[in-house]
Amino acid sequence: MTAQANTQTAVPTVKLLIGGQLVESASREWREVINPATQEVLARVPFATVEEMHAAVASAKEAFKTWRKTPIGARARIFLKYQQLIRENMKELAAILTAEQGKTLADAEGDVFRGLEVVEHAAAIGNLQLGELANNVAGGVDTYTLLQPLGVCAGITPFNFPAMIPLWMFPMAIATGNTFVLKPSEQDPMVTMRLAELALEAGVPAGVLNVIHGGAEAVNLICDHPDIKAVSFVGSTKVGTHVYNRASFNGKRVQCMMGAKNHAIILPDAHKEQTLNNLAGAAFGAAGQRCMALSVAILVGEAQNWLPELVDKAKSLKVSAGVEPGTDVGPLVSCAALDRVSSLIERGVGEGAQLVLDGRQPQVAGYAKGNFVGPTIFSGVTPQMSIYQEEIFGPVLCVLHAATLDEAIELINANPNGNGTALFTRSGAAARHFQEEIDVGQVGINVPIPVPVPMFSFTGSRASKLGDLGPYGKQVVQFYTQTKTVTERWFDESEVGGPVNTTINLK
- Collapsing DSSP states into helix, strand and coil, what is residue 138? strand
Residue nearest to ligand NAD (CB): 235
CB nearer ligand NAD, residue 159 or residue 244: 159
Cα(349)–Cα(387) distance, rounded to whole angstroms? Answer: 9
CB nearer ligand NAD, residue 79 or residue 244: 244
Angle at 392 between CA 386 and CA 395, to 5 degrees: 130
CB-CB contact of 385 with 351 (8 Å): yes
CB nearer ligand NAD, residue 57 or residue 276: 57
Angle at 230 between CA 224 and CA 234, to 5 degrees: 90
Whole-angstrom CA distances from 44 to 6, 158, 331 are 9, 18, 20
Q: How far is CA 246 from the centre of its chain?
A: 20
Catalytic one among 153, 223, 256, 291? 291
CB-CB contact of 312 with 377 (8 Å): no
- Minimum distance of ligand NAD from residue 212's CB (angstroms): 11
Cα(38)–Cα(369) distance, rounded to whole angstroms? Answer: 6
- Minimum distance of ligand NAD from residue 8's CB (angstroms): 21
Buried b (16+ CB within 10 A) or exposed e, 286-297: bbbbbbbbbbbb
Please give the residue ranges that form the binding site for ligand NAD (CB under 6 A): 156-161, 183, 185-186, 215-216, 219, 234-236, 239, 257-260, 291, 391, 393, 419, 458, 460, 464
What is the distance between the terminal CA atoms of the chain, rounded to a whole angstrom?
52
Exposure of 210 by Cβ count < 10 A (0-12 exposed, 13-18 middle, 19+ buried)? buried
Cα(419)–Cα(266) distance, rounded to whole angstroms? Answer: 18
**Listed residue (415, 413, 397) closest to 405, CA to CA:** 413
CB nearer ligand NAD, residue 367 or residue 393: 393
CB-CB contact of 114 with 299 (8 Å): no
A 10 A CB-CB count for 302 gives: 10
- Minimum distance of ligand NAD from residue 216's CB (angstroms): 3
CB nearer ligand NAD, residue 116 or residue 147: 116
- Minimum distance of ligand NAD from residue 420's CB (angstroms): 9
- Minimum distance of ligand NAD from residue 257's CB (angstroms): 3
- Collapsing DSSP states into helix, strand and coil, what is residue 70? coil
Cα(236)–Cα(471) distance, rounded to whole angstroms? Answer: 16
CB nearer ligand NAD, residue 179 or residue 185: 185
300 phi/psi in degrees, rounded to 5: -100, 130
Cα(157)–Cα(186) distance, rounded to whole angstroms? Answer: 9
- Collapsing DSSP states into helix, strand and coil, what is residue 255? strand
CB nearer ligand NAD, residue 67 or residue 100: 100
- Minimum distance of ligand NAD from residue 245's CB (angstroms): 12
Cα(196)–Cα(132) distance, rounded to whole angstroms? Answer: 33
- Minimum distance of ligand NAD from residue 38's CB (angstroms): 21
CB nearer ligand NAD, residue 378 or residue 393: 393
CB-CB contact of 94 with 113 (8 Å): no
- Minimum distance of ligand NAD from residue 295's CB (angstroms): 10
- Minimum distance of ligand NAD from residue 235's CB (angstroms): 3
| Annotation says 153 is catalytic | no
CB nearer ligand NAD, residue 158 or residue 171: 158
Half-sphere exposure of 484 (CA within 13 A, CB side): 8
Question: What residues are annotated to the active site?
Answer: 291
